[in-house]
């Protein structure tokens, strides 16, 4: 089945950059696509432009098709996110298409939830069942009892379905398990978040501080290209991480910070910038409010004070602050992406935002640029009914959407009214491994009236679903357009490279069919996706056939910088709010506060987790190509600690957390590249669905061990780096 792209060929296509760690550009995992003729078998029959779904960055892809099989994919040179290149995960996209473990037809559960016994059914039967059960739950408990967990571009059509039903419960782990604190913090400070495609002018930066952002392992193609360009121009990198990450190896300074103490370092940087008069005075004077309060707040946050918290030498704190200041305004502290760590995370992100303000880098080359969007009008449909919501147990004053974690809690709460949650629809979202505390999520799912999973692969969530609606992979389907704010305004199309391999369907079709069966056809008035997309593109005055041919239409942007001394921001004061009145009014700290983290007890390690260049969470761990390159995660442990525990590299070890939850075995990686007080693993492994022949029980799952979270008081994010583990050899 999986015959066209062998591992050998995959590595040839990717230039072996994944394994080599460092490509010619000097940045890891970064690769230039091979030419069309490299695909074995000579010229392809056709080349179909589309965009990638191996992660949520959505790079432009060219799919080479021969004899109705995709033989190779590479970056679309016209697409401004990929510029002709893909990251290692993206290059493995063909593996997602030809994974023999894929879901192949609709399935209905025939026994207890979780027992994983199914009967294959027709689409009509599966959709009738789903529409009927959703209708019954809505009639009995109200629309507010239905929740959509959505992750991935195709989720948009299911959001329409949910809104049509009258539910406002669209939740995304990418908010409260990921970017939420940054969105809140930058919103409060600048009135704008850096966005999903972060508006960072990395390529022109002369100094960049990566604070916990492990770019190179965390792979977002365009950012890696941009950082590569900055590297080539001699930019200075400063990496703050308890672990010597790949980006640390490219950095002039590595600050092996004690986990959970970033805010102390950031406040000390602010102390140095202000105390030594190194901040961009004119910029702050004209563009910010609350400077006097900030200066007073950080007066005592000296590098010596921060040293006691962070373990970073005062001189190194001073040197790095000065290094950033010297390069300012072409200097930045990368705002990070996954920022739910220790509970007080909006304050940590506010500190990041404030140090950036002191560097005066907003709208400046080498700082945060001003993006533009190629506007494409929405398809006109009737207004949605008023939205009903579930009632969260806790309220967070500045949460900008319903929270996935709270949806789970509201499910467990179980009062029989519209304030509780009774049905989950999971679109591309493996909830048991995405939310903290897998065991708790599974117990919670047992209480539901209905679980619907729309996925391409078997997964923990599909194992607990009542009905599985198998979606086409991205190489077999149309999807919503993509036109995010970016430095080059563009609109891109996702379109099928090949026909469906099995009895699977595109998300737009599944949502439309469900809508029609539920009497909500007015929200899906188009015949098919081509008609829908074509009509939107035409309304924007663009040529749909050009979009289908090239995969993307770009427009030049006037300027991504604003060099005028005085700028306007979308905050209440129209200025950068160093002191946040909104936080003060909500009874929260108006200036970033530092809370020392709880210490691990003697003999325990703090559990940290992150990414590998070849994988996107649990999404790709079974991918035939990517799993060959990186088959399982390892546990990083400091060499001295391993020695003191009598453990050796390669040992299979078990982990047990503070709540006696055990997981493993996982292979031990003994290294000097991590502090002694923590261990680290890549997220997404330790799969428990037997249908996953390559990833079943390979490595260990961090999510099982994350039984404790610390909620962010501002927006409700779930700080997950607050769990401690002991490590012992497998019995
Ligand atoms: P994390 O995964 O939390 O965030 O990637 P990042 O934004 O980089 O970062 C983990 C790093 O933080 C590790 O190096 C860890 O050692 C370090 N760290 C842990 N605790 C601390 C601390 O207290 N202080 C400091 N300074 N460092 C600490 C996530 C991002 O990656 C996201 S949100 C997405 S959606 C994308 N997902 C993804 C993927 O799944 N795979 C790959 N390959 N790339 C991805 N890119 C994106
Ligand atoms: Fe695909 Fe990689 Fe781009 Fe993500 S960053 S969309 S995985 S090529």
pLDDT digit string (tens) for 429-481? Answer: 999 989 999 999 999 999 999 999 999 999 989 989 999 999 999 999 999 99
Closest Cα to atom 8 of ligand 2 = 90
Is the distance from the beta carbon of residue 90 to the nearest atom of ligand 2 less than 6 Å?
A: yes
Q: Which residues line ligand 1 (CB under 6 A)?
A: 55-56, 89, 178, 211-214, 218-220, 240-243, 245, 257, 259-260, 262, 336-338, 341, 608, 610-613, 615-617, 680, 721
pLDDT tens across 629-673, in order?
A: 999 999 999 999 999 999 999 999 999 999 999 999 999 999 999
Closest Cα to atom 1 of ligand 2 = 90
CB 397 within 8 A of CB 588: yes
Is the distance from the beta carbon of residue 219 to the nearest atom of ligand 2 less than 6 Å?
A: yes
Is the distance from the beta carbon of residue 87 to the nearest atom of ligand 2 less than 6 Å?
A: yes
How distant, in Å, are the alpha carbons of 46, 67, 85, 305 from that of 72? Answer: 11, 12, 13, 55
How many Å apart are CA 721 and CA 475, to the nearest integer?
A: 36
Angle 134-138-143 from CA coordinates, rounded to 5°: 110
Low-confidence residues in the chain, pLDDT < 50:
1-39
Ligand 1 atom with the smallest distance to the CA of 342 is 23
Q: What is the pLDDT of residue 413?
A: 79
Ligand 2 atom with the smallest distance to the CA of 220 is 5
How many Å apart are CA 307 and CA 724, to the nearest integer?
A: 23
Closest ligand to residue 494's CA: 2
Which parts of 571-692 are beta strand (E)?
576-577, 605-610, 634-638, 652-657, 662-671, 678-682
Closest Cα to atom 3 of ligand 2 = 59
- Mention every residue, 6+ apart, whose C-beta is less than 8 A from residue 508: 154, 157, 477, 478, 479, 480, 528, 529, 532
Ligand 2 atom with the smallest distance to the CA of 57 is 6
Is the distance from the beta carbon of residue 18 to the nearest atom of ligand 2 less than 6 Å?
A: no
Q: Which residues does residue 490 pair with via DSSP β-bridges, in sequence order?
A: 554
Closest ligand to residue 254's CA: 1
Tokens of 65: 């098709």
Is the distance from the beta carbon of residue 221 to the nearest atom of ligand 2 less than 6 Å?
A: yes
Is the distance from the beta carbon of residue 58 to the nearest atom of ligand 2 less than 6 Å?
A: yes
Tokens of 449: 């009236």
How many Å apart are CA 60 and CA 483, to the nearest integer?
A: 12
Closest ligand to residue 55's CA: 2
Angle 725-728-731 from CA coordinates, rounded to 5°: 135
Tokens of 106: 């609709």
Tokens of 344: 């007080």
How many Å apart are CA 180 and CA 323, to the nearest integer?
A: 29
Ligand 1 atom with the smallest distance to the CA of 684 is 40
Tokens of 21: 């760690």
pTM of the model: 0.93
Neighbours of 195 (CB within 10 A): 16
Ligand 1 atom with the smallest distance to the CA of 260 is 23
User: Quick one: DSSP state of residue 453?
Assistant: E
Closest ligand to residue 87's CA: 2
Closest Cα to atom 37 of ligand 1 = 616
- How much distance in Å is there from the Cα of 609 to the middle of ligand 1? 7
Closest ligand to residue 177's CA: 1
Q: With b meaning 16 or more CB within 10 Å and e meaning fewer, what string describes 11-29?
A: bebbbebbeeeebebebbb
- Give the side-chain half-sphere CA count within 13 A for 59: 29
Q: Ligand 2: which of 219, 222, 479, 619 to mutate, judged by most atoms within 8 Å of the beta carbon? A: 219
Closest Cα to atom 27 of ligand 1 = 212
- How much distance in Å is there from the Cα of 87 to the middle of ligand 2? 6
Token look-up 């990921």 returns: 178
Mapping DSSP to helix (H, G, I), strand (E, B) and coil, where does residue 633 land?
Answer: coil
How many Å apart are CA 153 and CA 471, to the nearest integer?
A: 13
- How much distance in Å is there from the Cα of 54 to the middle of ligand 2? 6
Closest Cα to atom 6 of ligand 2 = 58
Ligand 1 atom with the smallest distance to the CA of 179 is 33
Mapping DSSP to helix (H, G, I), strand (E, B) and coil, where does residue 550 land?
Answer: helix
Mapping DSSP to helix (H, G, I), strand (E, B) and coil, where does residue 621 land?
Answer: coil
- How much distance in Å is there from the Cα of 219 to the middle of ligand 2? 7
How many Å apart are CA 302 and CA 305, to the nearest integer?
A: 5
Q: Ligand 1: which of 338, 349, 703 to mutate, judged by most atoms within 8 Å of the beta carbon? A: 338
Beta strands across the sheet bearing 467-470:
118-120, 107-109, 467-470, 450-455, 423-427, 146-150, 170-171
Ligand 2 atom with the smallest distance to the CA of 91 is 8
Closest ligand to residue 210's CA: 1
* DSSP string over 353-395: HHHHHHTT-BTSTTSB---B----PPPP-PPPPPPB----SS-
Which parts of 441-482 are beta strand (E)?
450-455, 467-470
Kindly give the pairing relationship between strand 552-554 and strand 490-492.
antiparallel
- How much distance in Å is there from the Cα of 596 to the middle of ligand 1? 21
Nearest Cα neighbor of 324 from 365, 276, 273 is 273
> What percentage of the chain has pLDDT greater than the value 70?
94
pLDDT tens across 123-138, in order?
A: 999 999 999 999 999 9
644 phi, psi to nearest 5 deg: -65, -25
Is the distance from the beta carbon of residue 59 to the nearest atom of ligand 2 less than 6 Å?
A: yes
How many Å apart are CA 436 and CA 313, to the nearest integer?
A: 34
Dihedral-angle region of residue 216 (phi above 0 means left; psi in -120 to 50 means alpha; beta otherwise): left
Closest Cα to atom 39 of ligand 1 = 616
Mapping DSSP to helix (H, G, I), strand (E, B) and coil, where does residue 400 land?
Answer: coil
Tokens of 550: 């090239």
Is the distance from the beta carbon of residue 92 to the nearest atom of ligand 2 less than 6 Å?
A: no
Q: What is the pLDDT of residue 418?
A: 63
- How much distance in Å is there from the Cα of 683 to the middle of ligand 1? 10
User: Helices (H) and strands (E) in the chain — how many of each?
Assistant: 27, 26
CB 481 within 8 A of CB 504: no
- Mention every residue, 6+ apart, whose C-beta is less than 8 A from residue 221: 57, 59, 75, 81, 82, 85, 86, 87, 90
Q: What is the pLDDT of residue 689?
A: 87
């Amino acid at each position: 089945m999986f015959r066209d792209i062998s591992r050998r060929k995959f590595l040839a296509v990717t230039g072996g950059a994944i394994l080599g760690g460092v490509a010619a550009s000097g940045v890891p995992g970064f690769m230039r696509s091979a030419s069309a003729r490299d695909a074995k078998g000579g010229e392809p029959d056709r080349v179909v432009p589309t965009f990638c779904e191996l992660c949520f960055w959505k790079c432009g892809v060219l799919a080479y098709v021969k004899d109705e099989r995709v033989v190779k994919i590479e970056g679309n040179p016209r697409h401004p996110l990929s510029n002709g290149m893909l990251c290692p995960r993206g290059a493995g996209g063909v593996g997602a298409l030809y994974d023999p473990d894929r879901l192949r037809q609709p399935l209905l559960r025939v026994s207890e939830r979780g027992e994983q016994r199914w009967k294959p059914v027709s689409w009509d039967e599966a959709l009738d069942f789903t529409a009927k059960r959703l209708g019954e739950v809505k009639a009995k408990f109200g629309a507010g009892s239905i929740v959509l967990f959505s992750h991935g571009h195709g989720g948009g059509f299911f959001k329409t379905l949910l809104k049509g039903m009258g539910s406002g419960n669209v939740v995304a782990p990418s908010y409260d398990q990921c970017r939420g604190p940054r969105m809140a913090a930058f919103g409060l400070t600048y009135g704008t978040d850096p966005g999903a495609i972060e508006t960072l002018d990395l390529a022109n930066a002369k100094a960049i501080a990566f604070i916990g952002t492990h770019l190179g392992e965390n792979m977002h193609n365009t950012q890696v290209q941009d950082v590569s360009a900055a590297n080539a121009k001699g930019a200075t990198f400063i990496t703050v991480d308890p672990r010597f990450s790949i980006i640390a190896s490219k950095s002039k300074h590595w600050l092996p910070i004690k986990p959970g103490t970033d805010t102390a370092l950031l406040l000390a940087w602010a102390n140095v910038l202000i105390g030594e008069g190194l901040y961009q005075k004119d910029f702050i004077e004209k563009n910010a409010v609350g400077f006097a309060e900030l200066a007073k707040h950080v007066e005592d946050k000296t590098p010596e004070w921060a040293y006691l918290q962070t373990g970073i030498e005062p001189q190194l704190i001073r040197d790095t602050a000065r290094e950033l200041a010297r390069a300012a305004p072409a200097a930045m502290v990368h705002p990070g992406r996954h920022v739910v760590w220790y509970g007080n995370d909006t304050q940590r992100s506010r500190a990041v935002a404030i140090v950036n303000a002191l560097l005066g880098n907003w709208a400046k080359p080498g700082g945060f640029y001003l993006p533009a969007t190629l506007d494409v009008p929405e398809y006109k449909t009737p207004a949605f009914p008023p939205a009903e919501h579930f009632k969260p147990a806790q309220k967070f004053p500045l949460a900008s959407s319903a929270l996935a974690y709270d949806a789970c809690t509201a499910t467990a709460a179980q009062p029989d009214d519209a304030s509780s949650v009774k049905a989950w629809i999971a679109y591309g979202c493996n909830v048991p491994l995405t939310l903290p505390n897998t065991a708790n999520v599974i117990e919670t799912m047992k209480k539901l009236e209905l679980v619907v999973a729309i996925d391409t692969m078997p997964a923990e969530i599909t194992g607990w679903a009542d009905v599985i609606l198998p979606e086409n992979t991205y190489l077999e389907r149309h999807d919503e357009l993509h036109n995010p704010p970016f430095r080059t305004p563009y609109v891109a199309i996702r379109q099928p490279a090949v026909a469906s391999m099995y009895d699977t369907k595109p998300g737009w079709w599944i949502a439309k069919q469900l809508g029609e069966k539920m009497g909500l056809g007015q929200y899906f008035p188009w015949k098919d996706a081509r008609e829908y997309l074509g009509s939107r593109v035409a309304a924007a005055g663009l040529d749909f056939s050009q979009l289908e041919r090239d995969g993307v239409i770009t427009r030049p942007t006037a300027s991504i910088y604003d060099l005028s001394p005085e700028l306007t921001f979308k905050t209440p004061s129209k200025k950068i709010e160093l002191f946040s009145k909104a936080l003060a009014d909500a009874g929260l700290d108006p200036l970033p506060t530092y809370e020392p983290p709880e210490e691990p007890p003697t003999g325990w390690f703090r559990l940290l987790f992150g990414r590998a260049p070849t994988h996107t969470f649990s999404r790709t761990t079974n991918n035939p190509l990517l799993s060959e390159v990186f088959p399982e995660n390892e546990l990083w442990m400091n060499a001295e600690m391993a020695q003191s525990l009598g453990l050796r590299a390669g040992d299979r070890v078990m982990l047990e957390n503070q709540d006696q939850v055990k997981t493993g075995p996982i292979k031990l990686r003994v290294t000097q590249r991590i502090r002694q007080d923590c261990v680290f693993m890549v997220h997404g492994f330790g799969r428990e669905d037997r249908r996953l022949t390559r990833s079943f029980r390979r490595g260990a799952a961090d999510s099982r061990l994350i039984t404790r979270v610390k909620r962010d008081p501002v927006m409700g994010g779930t700080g997950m780096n607050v769990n401690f583990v002991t490590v012992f050899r497998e019995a």
